[in-house]
Amino acid sequence: MSVDITSRVLPGIGVCHELALHEGRHIGIVIRRTGQRDFVVYDEEGDGAAAGVTLTADEAIAVAEVLAAPRVVFPSPVEGLIVEQLPVPADSPFARRSLGDTHARTRTGASIVAVLRQGTALPSPTPEFVLHANDLVVTVGTRAAIDQVARILDGSAE
Amino acid sequence: MNAGHGATNVAVLLIELGAILFALGLLGRLARRVRIPVIPLYLLGGLAFGQGGVLELSASEEFVRIAADIGVILLLVMLGLEYSASELRASLRTQAPIGVLDGLLNAVPGVLIALIAGWGGVAAVALGGITWVSSSGVIAKMLGDSGRLANHETPTILGVLVIEDVAMALYLPLLTALLAGGGAGKVVLAVVIAVAAVGSVIVVATRFGRHVTQLVAAQDNESLLLGVLGLTLLVAGLAERLHVSAAVGAFLVGIAVSGSVAETAAEVLAPLRDVFAAVFFVAFGLSTNPHTLPAVLPLALLLAALTAGTKMVTGYLAARRAGVRRRGRWRAAVTLVPRGEFSVVVAALAVSAGAETKLGPTAACYVLITILLGAAAYRWPDHLQPEQTATP
């Protein structure tokens, strides 16, 4: 999955990175020496910015974290608990095995409240429910518990 | 001078200085509100004070004069700090032909018009410098504020500015020597020293930048500020002694200091630069009698129209050479129009050395017109139709 990135030095200002996206448009990110970042989308002609925003260093880090997050995170109404959709990778040891085989609840304390399969929500799965590769498992629990479930699903848990 | 007189003098000095700085603060806010660069307003502020203006200064004149000299030095050392030696080398390598074209297209009209006006050779060289160099400060700020930093023409625009700044490091000593009235020998000597100094600093900064940097490197910002400021004034003074121009000495110090120290130095020097550079622009306005402006206005308009055109040709061709399409070429063309700090530096040098008296008011008008013209035209290329040949 290589992305085509061209970089240009802007004397006195910083560096500009231009990314060619698979859908054809280009985006540009300028890293100024001041720490500010400019994030632009190029116009159809390709030389100039059609739209853009300037981010502070903190905002840039926040955007980067959101973009780089591997999973969708929902805010939960209960303090300390979060809801996340965890993917079942194609090479997961639990693809084509039952939910009960994961022992996710006993091992981590997190609850699996639904499974999303090809856009359809299958609520309240029983322990006999069979997981498929590319399912999204909707999990409620603490941060640590959810991370542990994710490791179980991708097979990296001991 | 008795104690009582001294106290009044200090009081008047503080009141005048306070009034100037406070007025500049208001002008800065106004500039932001109406979205134009602040330099024209500083110049106008200076014209309003001072001889022939609405309010004449007395006690603070001497201080303002010295502060203006320091302002030039700070402007130049900051410029040097912003560029690393490797950026300079890269720009010189890739943009050299454009730099030559830029010099010919934009300096020659100034020289010719001064000669036609009968101002003499030295003033002609000065006017050539005034029309030559675009304003790095104004243009970098406009690019940063308008979201055009990521555009394909931007590296070209910045490259032209870098080349011009390096060219100035050779031009200023030449002008200084000419203004000092030395014979051909002295002029050649000054230029040779300048070429040697610029060349060796670029080499030294890329090879041994660490050692120069260690001279001023410090853990705390206060020591760093004092170290960099001290070294800059010291080298600027020595350069002035050698008739190479204090400004060039300061620029070279800025280039020689490199890496993270340069970044911190630029950070701590910036507020000082803002104060003293503002005073520099005001001082230039102060030294210009507003009553002399109407007489030179037609000449300044002619110069501005002519060299806005030649600068646009430079920008257009530079962007085309970099493979930028039509709209981007026009953006590069209009962005380079504003002249600013260097034109004022050159004019101030020439005026203080007693060259043609019309140079001062002409330069003031000229800088005002080109900045307003550039600001007005800045958004115009956005209305052009995009080129039809879509890229794959």
pLDDT computed for residue B257 by the predictor: 85
- Whether the pLDDT of residue A109 is over 70: the answer is yes
CA dist A110 and A146 (Å) reads 6
- Contacting A with CB below 8 Å, chain B residues are 79, 82-83, 87-88, 90-91, 136, 140, 143-144, 147-155, 158-159, 161-162, 263, 324-325, 327-328, 331, 386-387, 390-391
User: Which chain A residues are Cβ-neighbours of B154 within 8 angstroms?
Assistant: 10, 16
User: Which chain B residues are Cβ-neighbours of A42 within 8 angstroms?
Assistant: 150
pLDDT computed for residue B391 by the predictor: 46
- Whether the pLDDT of residue A68 is over 50: the answer is yes
Q: How confident is the model at residue A156 (pLDDT cuts 50, 70, 90)?
A: confident
Most A CBs within 10 Å, among B138, B152, B263, B267, to test the A interface: B152
Question: Which among A13, A38, A44 has the least Cβ separation from residue B147?
Answer: A38
Domains of chain A: which residue ranges?
A: 4-68, 72-154
Q: Are A135 and A96 in contact (CB under 8 A)?
A: no
User: Do B158 and A45 make contact, defined as CB atoms within 8 angstroms?
Assistant: no
User: Which chain B residues are Cβ-neighbours of A38 within 8 angstroms?
Assistant: 147, 149-150
pTM: 0.79
pLDDT computed for residue B272 by the predictor: 94
Percent of chain A with pLDDT over 70: 93
Q: Which of B385, B356, B372, B286 is nearest to B128 (CA)?
A: B356
pLDDT computed for residue B50 by the predictor: 67
Question: Which among A9, A38, A44 has the least Cβ separation from residue B150?
Answer: A38
User: Which chain B residues are Cβ-neighbours of A43 within 8 angstroms?
Assistant: 386
User: Do A11 and B154 make contact, defined as CB atoms within 8 angstroms?
Assistant: no
Tokens 């990314």 found at: A19
Spell out the long-range contacts of A98-107 with Cβ–Cβ below 8 A and sequence spacing 24 or more: A98/A127, A98/A128, A98/A129, A98/A130, A98/A131, A99/A125, A99/A126, A99/A127, A99/A128, A99/A129, A99/A130, A99/A131, A100/A127, A100/A128, A102/A131, A102/A149, A102/A152, A102/A153, A104/A139, A104/A149, A104/A152, A107/A148, A107/A152, A107/A157
pLDDT computed for residue B304 by the predictor: 96
- Whether the pLDDT of residue A104 is over 70: the answer is yes
Number of residues written out for chain A: 158
Question: Which among A13, A47, A53 has the least Cβ separation from residue B149?
Answer: A13
CA dist A25 and A50 (Å) reads 11
- Whether the pLDDT of residue A84 is over 60: the answer is yes
pLDDT computed for residue B128 by the predictor: 96
CA B328, chain centre distance (Å): 25
CATH number for the domain formed by residue range(s) A72-154: 3.30.70.1450
Domains, chain B, with CATH or none: 61-382 (1.20.1530.20)
Count of CB atoms within 10 A of residue B205's CB? 26
A and B: number of Cβ contacts within 8 A: 90
Q: How far apart are the first and last CA of chain A?
A: 29
CA dist B198 and B207 (Å) reads 14
Spell out, as residue ranges, where chain B has pLDDT lower than 70: 1-7, 50-56, 182, 209, 388-392
